[in-house]
Amino acid sequence: MASVTASSVKFSSVSCLIKQNQLSNLKKASLSFTGNGFQSRRLPVLRFRVACAAKPETVMKVVDIVRKQLALPEDRDVCGESKFSVLGADSLDTVEIVMGLEEEFGICVEEESAQSISTVQEAADLIEELLEKK
């Protein structure tokens, strides 16, 4: 992890403080069609907000790491929406999951971002965001 930003890991993340104010790590792409070329046809102005979710492969890798960390039985369903806490992860597990993701993807997760991850999807999205920045 040759990280330029040596961020300090606060074990506050290990202290399992349940964050109510969670940063949304979903990348939002805002597209607005102002309908310039269509004014004569009087089409309504449309605004789309598209959340760019992570690739399925990324989600699958996260699922694998989570499964391994929490030693989940095969029949236990794990998907994007799965919350770490519901899967039985304590604060220590969550930090270790983040560490596993860092190793797997060669990224460095900042303390603040790490604390905001509560579902598989959020982890995957954050990973892709960090990979893109590299």
Partner 1 sequence: MALTLNAIAFQSPKRPSFTPPPLPTAHRSPTLCMASSLRSASREVETVNKPFTPPHEVHVQVTHSMPPEKVEIFKSLEGWAEDNLLVHLKPVEKCWQPQDFLPDPSSDGFHDQVKELRERAKEIPDDYFVVLVGDMVTEEALPTYQTMINTLDGVRDETGASPTPWAVWTRAWTAEENRHGDLLNKYLYLSGRVDMKQIEKTIQYLIGSGMDPRTENNPYLGFIYTSFQERATFVSHGNTARLAREHGDMKLAQICGTIAADEKRHETAYTKITEKLFEIDPDSTVLAFADMMRKKIAMPAHLMYDGRDDNLFDNFSAVAQRLGIYTAKDYADILEHLVKRWKVSQLRGLSAVGQEAQDYVCGLPPRIRKLQERAQTRAKQGPRIPFSWVHDREVQL
Interface residues with partner 1 (CB under 8 A) are 3, 6-12, 14-18, 20-21, 90-92, 95-96, 99, 111
Catalytic residue flag (residue 77): no
- Which residue number, 12 or 32, has a Cβ lying nearer to partner 1? 12
CB atoms near residue 92 (< 10 Å): 14
Least separation in angstroms between residue 112's CB and partner 1 is: 8
- Which residue number, 14 or 78, has a Cβ lying nearer to partner 1? 14
Least separation in angstroms between residue 39's CB and partner 1 is: 44
- Which residue number, 55 or 68, has a Cβ lying nearer to partner 1? 68
Q: Which of 64, 75, 77, 90 is catalytic?
A: 90
* Core vs surface per residue 6-40: b (16+ CB within 10 A) or e: eeeeeeebeeeeeeeeeeebeeeeeeeeeeeeeee
DSSP, collapsed to helix, strand or coil, labels residue 28 as strand
Least separation in angstroms between residue 104's CB and partner 1 is: 15
Q: Terminal CA-to-CA distance of the chain, rounded, Å? A: 12
Tabulate helix, strand, coil % of the chain (nearest 5): 45, 10, 45
Q: Where in the sequence numbering do the catalytic residues fall?
A: 90
